[in-house]
Amino acid sequence: MTYELHAQSPSVADFRRLREVTGLSTKTQEAAERGLKGTLFAAVILCEGRTVAMGRVIGDGGCHYQIVDMAVEPEHQGRGLGKRIFAALMDWLHENAPKSAYVSLIADGDARHLYAKYGFEPVMPASIGMAQWIGGRPAKGT
């Protein structure tokens, strides 16, 4: 299999599909359309023309950035695709974010080990993550 990394946002359909098949919370069509427009930088990996991995950087473009939507189709996991996406996002941040910028992310499961290799560290106990879902908590992977 040949994998190609592209600096671009996923399509709305690919975004929604990848979130679902990887067990991330589902997003409505409207939420995905609006959200993808707010992307500062994104990378996808294609395999035979099909998007099989993605990651995005969002934020205010100066003080605060967040890495979101890291997802690799299950059948393509374990091949370093997440590392390639993450490296592309970090390269973009180092080239574009000012020195005092704060970059955050939510580490699900073992992904924290990948993020730690890039200098990310837990912020607890000084801070804890908090969230609220408008309209109720979405189903994961349904």
The vertex-25 CA angle with 23 and 28, nearest 5°, equals 130
Q: What is the pTM of this model?
A: 0.92
Note the CATH number of domain 3-117. Answer: 3.40.630.30
**Distance of alpha carbon 40 from alpha carbon 93, whole angstroms:** 10
Contact call for residues 131 and 104 (beta carbons, < 8 A): no
104-117: pLDDT as tens digits: 999 988 899 999 99
CA 81 centroid distance within chain: 12
Give residue-wise pLDDT tens across range 76-123: 999 999 999 999 999 999 999 999 999 999 998 889 999 999 999 999
Q: Residue 139 pLDDT > 90, yes or no?
A: no
Task: Report the distance separating Cα 7 and Cα 58, nearest Å.
Answer: 14
